Structure 1
């Protein structure tokens, strides 16, 4: 007779299956295969290296177990040399750092100067456009206020001006220039 399974039993079984699947490593085409490296066996000609490897393994196991291992003086001296820098190298790094800092500060000053000049130019352009608008407004006001017929009446009536007669008119022949330059006074008629 088959056991009846209820929801609780099914959930428990699925959790157990999930735990067992998580602890399994599967080799395949999508998963890298583990490559174990076998211990090397050295010939009897090099027993010193064998001892060093064994001592390093024992040091690693001592470190793993929490015990402190002693380091030889030569190793300590080599570590100090590797960690220390020579005076020349320190001076070189200092000079390079100061040079980089100087160029960065100089660059920032130039950028600030350029930004300030751009703002000044923008302000001057705004002022120029306002002055042009103001000038155009004054010019249009002056032109609208001028009545040429009134000026003509005042010139002829009050001031006694007349139109020139033909004998008072002098004509000049012009070259290809569209304007005349007057270098001398115009000669009076005889």
Structure 2
């Protein structure tokens, strides 16, 4: 109990110093404010320095307005760039959609063409109408390449 009583006294004293309300019994009363302490007199140079520090000169105002204008310009430029980027992204997405549609159309057309091609008819036409024949063993030439996996023919292959 004693500790809470002491704490309450301390809190009441702090409230008295600030001129606030405190509880005295069951009614809160406003305390008479303590008269303020007389201010110390400042020297003349100290007062001048304080006045100078609180005033803003013409140069400082120009500097601040220039900085504000630059910051505003940078923000406007940033917003413009983000708008351009968003527009370009949407254009790319639209082009990708068109590309996918064209690929689908090409695949469908290729499938349609390949289903309509009859290899037996092509073979029959080549042999009967155009006079083509299968290659015989005498016409086939075998060649073993060097170290490469493929062969490029720049001239006719010799007979022997």
Q: TM-score range by the shorter chain?
A: 0.5 to 0.7
5+ long unaligned stretches in structure 2:
1-5, 18-33, 42-47
Question: In structure 1, how many angstroms separate the alpha carbons of the residues matched to 2:106 and 2:60?
Answer: 68
Question: In structure 2, how many angstroms separate the alpha carbons of the residues matched to 1:131 and 1:188?
Answer: 48
Q: How does 1:65-76 map to 2 (within 5 A)?
A: none
Can you list the C-alpha shifts for 1:67-119, whole angstroms capped at 9, x where unaligned?
xxxxxxxxxx9998677420111011011001101100110111011101101
Look up the match of 2:155.
185
TM (norm. structure 2) is 0.66
Look up the match of 1:103.
74
Asked if 1:142 corresponds to 2:113, the answer is yes
Q: Stretches of 4+ moved more than 6 A in 1?
A: 77-83
SS of corresponding position for 1:154: helix
What's the offset of the Cα at 1:165?
1.4
Can you list the C-alpha shifts for 1:15-60, whole angstroms capped at 9, x where unaligned?
xxxxxxxxxxxx965x94243346588xxxxxxx58x9xxxxxxxx
Look up the match of 1:159.
130
Query: Kindly tell me: are residues 148 and 123 of structure 1, through their superposed partners in 2, closer, same or farther at Cα, counting changes over 3 Å?
Result: same
5+ long unaligned stretches in structure 1:
1-26, 42-48, 53-76
Comparing both structures, which one devotes a greater share of its residues to strand? Answer: 2
Query: Kindly tell me: are residues 177 and 143 of structure 1, through their superposed partners in 2, closer, same or farther at Cα, counting changes over 3 Å?
Result: farther
Please provide the CA RMSD for this pair. 3.6
Query: Kindly tell me: are residues 148 and 125 of structure 1, through their superposed partners in 2, closer, same or farther at Cα, counting changes over 3 Å?
Result: same
Question: In structure 2, how many angstroms separate the alpha carbons of the residues matched to 1:140 and 1:177?
Answer: 36
Total equivalences in the alignment: 132
Query: Kindly tell me: are residues 181 and 134 of structure 1, through their superposed partners in 2, closer, same or farther at Cα, counting changes over 3 Å?
Result: farther
Look up the match of 1:68.
none
SS of corresponding position for 1:133: helix
